Amino acid sequence: MIEPYVKLEIDNQVGYIEFFHPDHNAMPSYNLKTLEKTIVEAGKNDAIKVIVLKSGGDRTFCAGASFKEV
């Protein structure tokens, strides 16, 4: 099983932020906080002119908040 992650890669002034959670990218609060922090940091990085969000895996882009936390 692939572990949840948020990662940033920079290529040609584009910051690609990829996120993944095995529950169809349902985003538990700790994943959302990591995603938020990564977006904010990318926005402050002068080497990045455009930010692209993309989902890891081969399923849904993002199912939304995690029902397991509700």
Question: By C-alpha distance, which of 31, 29, 9, 19 is closest to 60?
Answer: 19
Residue 27 phi, psi (nearest 5) = -105, 95
pTM over 0.75: yes
Q: How far is CA 27 from the centre of its chain?
A: 9
DSSP secondary structure string for all residues of 17-49: EEEE-TTTTEE-HHHHHHHHHHHHHHHH-TT-S
Q: Report, as an integer, the average pLDDT of 8-25.
A: 90
Give the angle 20-23-5 at the CA atoms, nearest 5°.
20
| pLDDT tens track for 17-60 | 999 888 776 788 888 899 999 999 999 999 999 999 998 877 76
